[in-house]
C-alpha cells in the first residue's frame, strides 16, 4: 500500500519532469536566436532533471543519497556551462536577434 | 579571504561524495568496508592531483548565521526556479512568442568569487535571465523580456533578494 503510493508520487514527478523537457524542446525550436534558445533549454532541463531525480528517489528509496548528490552537481554545473557557452558564442561573433532591444555587452567591448 | 584548501579537506570531501554515491542501506558490512577502502585510495589519489585547483572557504563559513542565510537563499532559489520554468513554458507556448530580448548591465556589491558564482548561477536559473559575463563589479545579463535598461533598476529586478541573502552568507 505504502510502496504503491510512493510509486505514484514518483510517477507524478517523473511526468512533471518530462513535461518540462517538452517545453524546453519547444522553446529550442521556437526561440529566435542562440541566446534565447540557451535560456529556454538551460532552465527547463535543470528543473526537468531535478524533478526526474526526485521522482526516481520516491520509487527507489535506497538511492535517495546518490540522487541528492547528482542533483547538487547538476544545479551547480548546468548554469555555469550555459554561461560559458553563451559567452564563448558572443565573443565568437554570434549575433543577437535583429529585434533585440539593447546590447550593453557589445557597447562596452568595442576594441 | 578565500584561500587554498589543504590536501586533507579535499580528500575528506571526496571520500564523503564517494560514500554517498556507493552506499546503500541494505549492503552488508564487509561490502561497506570494501567501498570505504577503495574510497580512501581514490580520494587520496584525486586530491593529490587536484587539491591545488580548488577554492577553499574555511571553516568559519559554518557559522550558524551564515548557514541560516544560505538555507534561506536555497529555498528562495528553488521557488524562483519553478517560477522561471512556468514563465518559460508560458512564453514558448503562447502563439505570439512574447519576447523582447537584450543584454543589460547590472552592478553587484559582492566581492568574493564564490559569492559572484552563486549569484550568477541563481540569475541564470531564475525567470528570463542568463549571466553572460562578469567584468569587475559589472555583470552582463541576457534577458528574454527586457523590463528596464537602467543599470540600477534592472539590477533590482534581476537580483531580487539573492544579493542581500548572499551578503549575509559571505560577510
Q: Contact B26/A62, CB-based, under 8 Å?
A: yes
pLDDT at position B121 is: 86
Q: Contact B102/A101, CB-based, under 8 Å?
A: yes
- Average the pLDDT over A59-84 and give the result: 87
Residue B22 forms part of a structural domain: yes
pLDDT at position B110 is: 81
In Å, how far is A29's CA from the nearest CA of chain B? 9
Instruction: Give yes or no for residue A64 having a pLDDT over 50.
Output: yes
Helix axes A2-30, B64-93, angle to 10 degrees: 60
Q: Contact A62/B25, CB-based, under 8 Å?
A: yes
In A42-61, the residues whose Cβ lies within 8 Å of chain B are 42-44, 46-47
Among B47, B24, B22, residue whose Cα is nearest residue B35: B22
Residue A109 forms part of a structural domain: no
pLDDT at position B94 is: 84
Residue A47 forms part of a structural domain: yes
Instruction: Give yes or no for residue A108 having a pLDDT over 60.
Output: no
Instruction: Give yes or no for residue B71 having a pLDDT over 80.
Output: yes
In Å, how far is A5's CA from the nearest CA of chain B? 21
Task: Give the structural domain span for A8.
Answer: 2-99
pLDDT at position A17 is: 92
pLDDT at position A109 is: 52
In Å, how far is A49's CA from the nearest CA of chain B? 12
Residues B92 and B114 in one domain: yes
Residues B130 and B157 in one domain: yes
Residues B46 and B82 in one domain: no
Q: How many structural domains comprise chain B? A: 2
Q: Give the residue numbers in B contacting A (CB under 8 Å), as ranges.
A: 17, 20-21, 23-26, 81-82, 84-85, 88-89, 91-93, 97, 99-105, 117, 120-121, 124-125, 128-133, 135, 138, 140, 142, 144, 146, 149
Residues B81 and B163 in one domain: yes
pLDDT at position A111 is: 41
Residue A106 forms part of a structural domain: no
Residue A104 forms part of a structural domain: no
Please give the model's pTM, rounded to 2 decimal places: 0.79
Residue A54 forms part of a structural domain: yes
- Average the pLDDT over A76-105 and give the result: 80
What is the chain B residue with the closest CA to A17? B85
pLDDT at position A13 is: 93
**Residue with more model confidence, B106 or B55:** B106
Separation between Cα atoms, residue B70 and residue B91, nearest integer Å = 31
Please give the mean pLDDT across all residues of chain B: 81
Chain A hits for B144, Cβ within 8 Å = 36, 39
Residues B69 and B42 in one domain: no
Instruction: Give yes or no for residue A22 having a pLDDT over 50.
Output: yes
Instruction: Give yes or no for residue A14 having a pLDDT over 90.
Output: yes
pLDDT at position A110 is: 46
Residue A74 forms part of a structural domain: yes
Residue B2 forms part of a structural domain: no
Residue A111 forms part of a structural domain: no
Q: How confident is the model at residue A56 (pLDDT cuts 50, 70, 90)?
A: very high
Residue A100 touches partner B, C-beta closer than 8 Å? yes
In Å, how far is A104's CA from the nearest CA of chain B? 5
Query: Do A101 and B149 form a contact (C-beta atoms < 8 A)?
Result: yes
- Average the pLDDT over B139-167 and give the result: 80
With the C-alpha atoms ordered B64, A54, A45, A39, is the resulting torsion angle positive or negative? negative
Residues B39 and B66 in one domain: no
Name which of B35, B76, B99 to mutate to probe chain A: the one with the most chain A Cβ atoms within 10 A of its Cβ. Answer: B99
Instruction: Give yes or no for residue B2 having a pLDDT over 60.
Output: no
Residues B38 and B122 in one domain: no
Residues written for chain B: 171
Residue A110 forms part of a structural domain: no
- Average the pLDDT over B149-155 and give the result: 77
Task: Give the structural domain span for B42.
Answer: 7-53
Residues B30 and B93 in one domain: no
Instruction: Give yes or no for residue B1 having a pLDDT over 50.
Output: no
Residue B29 forms part of a structural domain: yes
Residues B28 and B67 in one domain: no
Q: Contact B20/A30, CB-based, under 8 Å?
A: no
Q: How many structural domains comprise chain A? A: 1
What are the cell numbers at A59?
520509487
pLDDT at position B159 is: 79
Please give the mean pLDDT across all residues of chain A: 84
In whole angstroms, how far apart are CA A28 and each of A37, A43, B133, B143? Answer: 5, 11, 22, 16
Among B54, B67, B66, B68, residue whose Cα is nearest residue B17: B54
Residues B143 and B91 in one domain: yes
Instruction: Give yes or no for residue A58 having a pLDDT over 80.
Output: yes
Residues B151 and B67 in one domain: yes
Residues B14 and B34 in one domain: yes
**Residue with more model confidence, A105 or B14:** B14
pLDDT in tens, B113-137: 888 888 888 888 887 788 888 887 8
Residue B1 forms part of a structural domain: no
Amino acid at each position: 500500500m505504502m510502496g504503491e503510493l510512493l510509486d505514484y508520487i514518483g510517477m507524478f514527478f517523473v511526468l512533471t519532469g518530462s513535461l518540462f523537457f517538452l517545453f524546453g524542446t519547444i522553446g529550442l525550436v521556437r526561440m529566435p536566436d542562440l541566446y534565447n534558445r540557451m535560456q529556454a533549454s538551460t532552465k527547463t532541463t535543470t528543473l526537468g532533471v531535478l524533478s526526474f531525480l526526485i521522482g526516481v528517489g520516491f520509487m527507489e528509496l535506497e538511492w535517495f543519497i546518490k540522487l541528492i548528490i547528482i542533483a547538487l552537481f547538476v544545479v551547480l554545473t548546468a548554469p555555469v556551462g550555459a554561461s560559458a557557452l553563451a559567452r564563448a558564442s558572443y565573443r565568437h561573433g554570434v549575433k543577437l536577434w535583429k529585434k533585440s532591444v539593447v546590447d550593453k555587452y557589445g557597447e562596452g567591448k568595442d576594441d | 579571504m578565500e584561500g587554498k584548501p589543504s590536501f586533507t579537506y579535499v580528500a575528506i570531501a571526496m571520500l564523503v561524495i564517494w560514500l554517498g554515491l556507493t552506499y546503500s542501506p541494505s549492503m552488508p558490512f564487509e561490502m561497506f568496508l570494501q567501498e570505504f577502502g577503495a574510497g580512501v585510495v581514490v580520494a587520496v589519489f584525486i586530491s593529490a592531483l587536484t587539491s591545488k585547483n580548488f577554492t577553499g572557504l574555511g571553516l568559519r563559513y559554518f557559522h550558524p548565521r551564515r548557514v541560516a542565510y544560505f538555507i534561506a537563499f536555497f529555498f528562495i532559489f528553488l521557488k524562483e526556479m519553478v517560477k522561471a520554468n512556468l514563465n518559460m513554458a508560458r512564453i514558448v507556448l503562447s502563439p505570439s512568442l512574447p519576447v523582447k530580448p537584450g543584454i543589460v548591465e547590472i552592478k553587484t556589491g559582492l566581492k568574493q568569487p564564490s559569492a559572484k558564482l552563486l549569484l550568477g548561477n541563481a540569475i541564470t536559473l531564475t525567470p528570463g535571465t542568463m549571466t553572460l559575463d562578469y567584468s569587475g563589479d559589472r555583470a552582463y545579463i541576457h534577458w528574454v523580456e527586457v523590463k528596464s535598461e537602467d543599470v540600477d533598476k534592472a539590477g533590482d529586478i534581476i537580483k531580487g533578494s539573492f544579493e542581500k541573502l548572499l551578503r549575509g552568507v559571505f560577510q
